Amino acid sequence: MADLSNINEHADVIGADGVHVGTVDRVEGDRIKLTKKDSGAQVEGADSSHEGHHHYIDGGLVAEVEDNTVRLSANADVAVTFETEEDGNAI
C-alpha cells in the first residue's frame, strides 16, 4: 500500500488503466473518501443508485501517489466494485 499521507484533497483517482474513478475529498484512516459528485455512474459498470453520497476506496488499492494523482492497482471498472459506503459496507 502506498503512503496515504501523500494524498492531497481534490487529487484525481484513476484506475490502472488511466480511467477516472473519482476525486479525493479527504483521507479517513486507511480509506480515501471520494467527493459526492463522483459517486454513481461515472465509470461503466457503476450503479447510479448510489449517487449523491460519499463513496470510499480502500487504501490497499492505491498503487502510487504522484503529484495530484492517485493511481489504483486495479482498472477503473474493477475498482468501483470495491467501493464502500461510510459504514464500510460494500455498495
Q: Which of 43-47, 56-60, 77-81, 87-91 has the lowest mean pLDDT?
A: 43-47
Q: What is the pLDDT of residues 18-71, one digit of tens each?
A: 999 999 999 999 999 999 886 654 444 544 455 567 899 999 999 999 989 999
Give 9-58 as a DSSP string.
TT-EEE-TTS-EEEEEEEEETTEEEEPGGG-STTSTT--GGGTTS--EEE
What pTM did the predictor assign? 0.82
pLDDT over threshold 50, residue 12: yes
Amino acid at 38: D
pLDDT for the residue numbered 52:
61
pLDDT for the residue numbered 41:
44
